[in-house]
Amino acid sequence: MEIKKVGVMGCGSMGLGVAQVCAQAGIPTVAVKATPGSTDKIRAGLEKSLGKMVERGKMTADHRDSTLGLLQLTNREEDVADCDLIVESIIEDLETKKALFQRLEGIVSPQALLTTNTSTLSVTAMMAVCKHRVRVAGLHFFNPAPVMKLVEIIYGFETSDEVIDTLNVFCKKVGKDPVIVQDTTGFIVNRLLTPYMLSAIRLLEMGTGTIGDIDHAMKSGAGHPMGPFELADYIGLDVVEAMTLNIYQDMHQPHVSSPHTLTRLVQLGYLGRKTGKGFYDYSVKPPMPNPALQHPVA
């Protein structure tokens, strides 16, 4: 099966990024805004982002114009009816995603592939509410989707080999580097990455090192481009906590439970870069460690 048209459910940073990737690769794409309201602001933001790419010489003006021409923004789920592939990228809540999959089965053709961009939730749980289960799979892009090369293609319990092969070809067509994964909570990257960030928080709580020193050690000593606290702030601490909860419910091991400091920051609304403060304070330049966390109490 050839993917000739893509529908993306959700126009947050991840959903819009996936839609941009598809349109840049020359594939007509429909992006559906999952919340009420106009799509004008989203399109204006995309136009501005692509304009900056043109200014920096990373994209030609013609390519920008063709990308924008191939990308339709809408509020209507029905507008994905003729798409060959759906990529769900809405809120990371299993029941909400399952309800969307049930609605999509009444909209798209039985041959259309239904995929989820979830980072830790069960693909099989979403598949379970569908009538045509063999065409359901995971397609986990990484943020920011236009930049990050990796895509995890996830087998649900009844996903067919043919669907995985089709998704593998599609990912390469849009310039991504796919890996095929079984439906294990967190898949490969987040199954390894989440405990790493949690361990760094526990080292902070134990007084082993400061935020800055732990980040510096992992960048300088392990060659990581970002330290664990910088990474957590970049992902969003609410997202990190949600991934932690999902993995803990699967493993029930203390090392993957949410540390006190992470829970408190999320409760306070300090979610990282997107709110201006998390482990770091982004209201100052360069960002400095959050003063409240210099001597955290576990």
Task: Return the active site residues.
Answer: 119, 140, 152, 190
Distance between CA atoms of 240 and 258, rounded to whole angstroms?
9
Distance between CA atoms of 140 and 154, rounded to whole angstroms?
8
Integer Rg of the chain from CA: 20
DSSP 26-91: T--EEEE-SSSS-SHHHHHHHHHHHHHHHHTTSS-HHHHHHHHHHEEEES-GGGGTT-SEEEE-S-
> Is the torsion defined by CA of 83, 102, 169, 59 positive or negative?
positive
- 181's CB contacts (< 8 A; 6+ apart) are 138, 152, 153, 154, 155, 187, 188
Do residues 46 and 149 lie in contact, with contact meaning Cβ atoms separated by under 8 Å? no
Q: Give the CA distances from residue 2 to residues 23, 166, 171, 248, in Å, rounded to whole numbers and listed in that order.
A: 16, 7, 12, 38
- What is the Cβ-side half-sphere exposure of residue 266, based on CA atoms within 13 angstroms? 16
Minimal CA–CA distance to 124: which of 78, 163, 158? 158
Angle between helices 13-24 and 61-70 (to 10 degrees): 110
